[in-house]
């Protein structure tokens, strides 16, 4: 399937203020996963967002490839000064990741998107302010 821009269909990346939200549904084929990684990196760099939420509640199986792609997305986001929260992991997916021995470095997890957004708000560093009377 082609978009008006001539690229193949991909996973939508939505902007919610200073956070990108990516919702994965069903299977994510290798080429689509790699395109998603590139799209997210470009969006973070272009929009200067500070957070990324990847919602995997619609994903029934996370294999070693997808686990690695998610970890790489989080690493790239971190290098571009954005924190990543993985939301909506099903218990079966968590069990599979443990059985495969996969760790997801750089990823904080949340039960749902709402909690993921709360976590990002809680961990945003405070803007430095000038105190009265100087330093």
pLDDT by 10s per residue, the chain, length 135: 333 333 445 788 999 999 999 999 888 888 888 899 999 999 999 998 999 999 999 988 888 888 888 989 999 999 999 999 999 999 998 998 888 888 787 689 999 999 999 999 986 554 433 444 444
Label residue 106 left, alpha or beta by phi (over 0 means left) and psi (-120 to 50 means alpha): left
Query: Does residue 134 lie in a domain region?
Result: no
62 vs 48: CA distance, rounded Å: 29
Query: Does residue 81 lie in a domain region?
Result: yes
At 104 the pLDDT is: 81
Q: What is the CATH number of the domain that holds 86?
A: 3.30.750.24
Query: Does residue 3 lie in a domain region?
Result: no
Domain count, the chain: 1
Query: Does residue 30 lie in a domain region?
Result: yes
- Give the Å distances, CA to CA, from 16 to 20, 45, 59, 97, 113: 6, 15, 22, 29, 12
At 83 the pLDDT is: 94
CA Rg value for the chain: 16
**Neighbour order of strands in the sheet with 19-25:** 13-16, 19-25, 51-58, 83-87, 108-110
SS3 2: strand
At 3 the pLDDT is: 36
Query: Does residue 59 lie in a domain region?
Result: yes
Query: Does residue 8 lie in a domain region?
Result: no
At 106 the pLDDT is: 67
Query: Does residue 12 lie in a domain region?
Result: no
Query: Does residue 85 lie in a domain region?
Result: yes
At 66 the pLDDT is: 86
Which domain covers residue 32, as residue numbers?
18-121
């Amino acid at each position: 399937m082609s978009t008006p821009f001539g690229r193949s269909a991909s996973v939508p990346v939505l902007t919610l203020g200073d956070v990108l939200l990516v919702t994965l549904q069903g299977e994510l084929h290798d080429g689509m996963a790699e395109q998603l990684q590139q799209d997210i990196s470009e969006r973070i760099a272009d929009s200067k967002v500070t957070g990324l939420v990847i919602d995997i509640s619609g994903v029934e199986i996370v294999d070693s490839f997808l686990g690695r792609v998610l970890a790489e997305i989080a690493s790239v986001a971190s290098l571009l000064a954005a924190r990543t929260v993985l939301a909506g992991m099903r218990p079966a997916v968590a069990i599979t990741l443990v059985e495969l021995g996969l760790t997801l470095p750089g990823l904080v997890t949340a039960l749902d998107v709402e909690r993921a957004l709360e976590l990002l708000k809680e961990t945003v560093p405070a803007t430095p302010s000038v105190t009265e009377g100087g330093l």
